[in-house]
Amino acid sequence: MRTSDTFEFLAMASLDQQAQLAVPGSGRAPSTGRVALAFALVYVLWGSTYLAIRITVEHVPPAMMGATRFLFAGPVMLAWCALTGRKISVNRNDLWRLAIIGVLLLTTGNVVVGWSEQYVPSGLAALIVAIVPIYVVVIEAVLLRSERLSRRGLAGLALGIAGMILLLWPKLGLMLASLSWASGSILSHRWKVGVGPLAATGWQMTASGIVNLAIVLASGDQHRVLWTGRGLAALAYLIVCGSWIGFSAYVWLLNHVPTAKVSTYAYVNPIVAVFLGWLIMHEPVDGFIVAGTVVIVAAVALVTGSKMKPATVKAAAGEAQLSAHSAD
């Protein structure tokens, strides 16, 4: 988690567990219309953020985009949480953790996506970022060895690698952004903090905005900004639709719909992004993009639909022994 812009966060698949703990279901099933509207908001708004990023970075350097977006979206979200009675105060340890997660997700992740979209079509960027669930599986199962992947998950992992080969063979990739997003998602899942998902996201956005602003001042990007109506409109769309409306709909779905169904955004968003990039920006959709889309979406569906099992001591020991032999 993402995964994604939102990435929001993007980007926000990393907050599944926190969101589920924050507001338990009321026992009354929501109407089909409300559920459909929430899914439409998440699918369309988050899928369209890649296009909005592409338009924004035509006029505003990526770091400035990230600084403006998150220094506005984060504090406003925190203010709204405070006004509605949600806890926003955090201790030093939680603040440090939220800052690290925010930088991984929204600076190394989101801003690098913006930088890449200066050279890579937005649809292709969305497809490459869509492999975040596969990165999460690799880190959890292979590097941290905390969980074991089922056969279905392994099949999805192999399929995802094949899809990446198809996509990266003719184009550049956004591997660093995807890996950073996955790392931030894992830390968000593992690190417990004393505030709910909305406040946590507000702090993460604020921390990332501060870091992005430091990058802007260090690189002199403030002198390269071209404030145009088109760029400001795209940036406003990212703040309102990506960071506020889309994420609010996502959290609402997590509290009213099974997580497995909510996770379908991971396969729908890249399709929306590719379509909008083709429709509005006239981005080319060649055979590599089509094949990569099919394979990546299928791989993400397999991985997110598979069940991860806790690694046993025996299995972990066997894997460690195998790694030791491989290093000899």
Under the banding of pLDDT at 50, 70 and 90, the label for residue 14 is: very low
Please tell me what DSSP assigns to residue 11. Answer: T
Structure tokens that stand for 155 in this block:
């099949």
Enclosing domain of residue 275: 13-327
Each residue of 125-135: pLDDT tens digit?
887 777 666 66
Each residue of 63-114: pLDDT tens digit?
999 999 999 999 999 999 999 999 999 999 999 999 998 998 888 878 888 8
Q: What is the structure's pLDDT at 20? A: 38
Q: pTM, whole model, 2 decimals? A: 0.71
Each residue of 166-179: pLDDT tens digit?
555 434 446 667 66
1 occurs within a structural domain: no
DSSP string, 37-88: HHHHHHHHHHHHHHHHHHHHTTTS-HHHHHHHHHHHHHHHHHHHHHHTT---
8 occurs within a structural domain: no
CA 213/CA 251 separation, integer angstroms: 28
- Top pLDDT among 182 and 147 is at 182
26 occurs within a structural domain: yes
CA 40/CA 312 separation, integer angstroms: 40
Q: Give CA angle at 318 (313, 320), nearest 5°.
A: 95
The answer, yes or no, to whether residue 251 has pLDDT greater than 90, is no
280 occurs within a structural domain: yes
Q: Mean pLDDT across the stretch 195-204? A: 87
Q: What is the structure's pLDDT at 145? A: 57
Each residue of 271-314: pLDDT tens digit?
888 899 999 999 888 887 788 778 777 776 676 665 545 444 34
3 occurs within a structural domain: no
Total domain count for the chain? 1
Measuring CA to CA, which residue among 124, 137, 138, 158 is closest to residue 291? 124
